[in-house]
Structure 1
Amino acid sequence: MFAAPHSDFSHAAPMSCAYQVSLIDRRTGRAHRVSGNPLVRFTRDPQAAVQELLDGRDARLWETRVEPLDAYAR
């Protein structure tokens, strides 16, 4: 797991495993919730998911967490 508030994935190798990208409220350290459910994106392109989740949000208040879902990616 790693935080990616301003990550630059442009130099990374192509990613083949699946990832879970969560929006985290820096004030509480908890995942942002919508209707009681955590706001999460499942993707093979974490860079796009991070950009989507942080778009229009104040980076001082929000960050993302990217976690690989494939057992062998950890």
Structure 2
Amino acid sequence: MLDGVSILRSEKVKDELILDGNDIELVSRFAALINQVQKCHVKKKDIRKFLDGIYVSEKGTVSEDQ
């Protein structure tokens, strides 16, 4: 665990971890470490990712309308 980052397990939502800290770099780094471990051990499952408090359901590029 990184210094300055606390982990709370949600009692209301199943399989939810809440990362809390004052330094967004440390919190983001810890979330990335959890995500890397999850990708190694979870195969053929719906892997839902959290990125700085925003639920990431889809990734892609944004194009400008002309």
TM over 0.5: no
Q: Which has the higher strand share?
A: 1
Q: Which has the higher helix share?
A: 2
Larger C-alpha radius of gyration, 1 or 2? Answer: 2
Between the two structures, name the one with larger relative contact order (CA 8 Å, sep ≥ 6).
1
TM-score by length of 1: 0.30
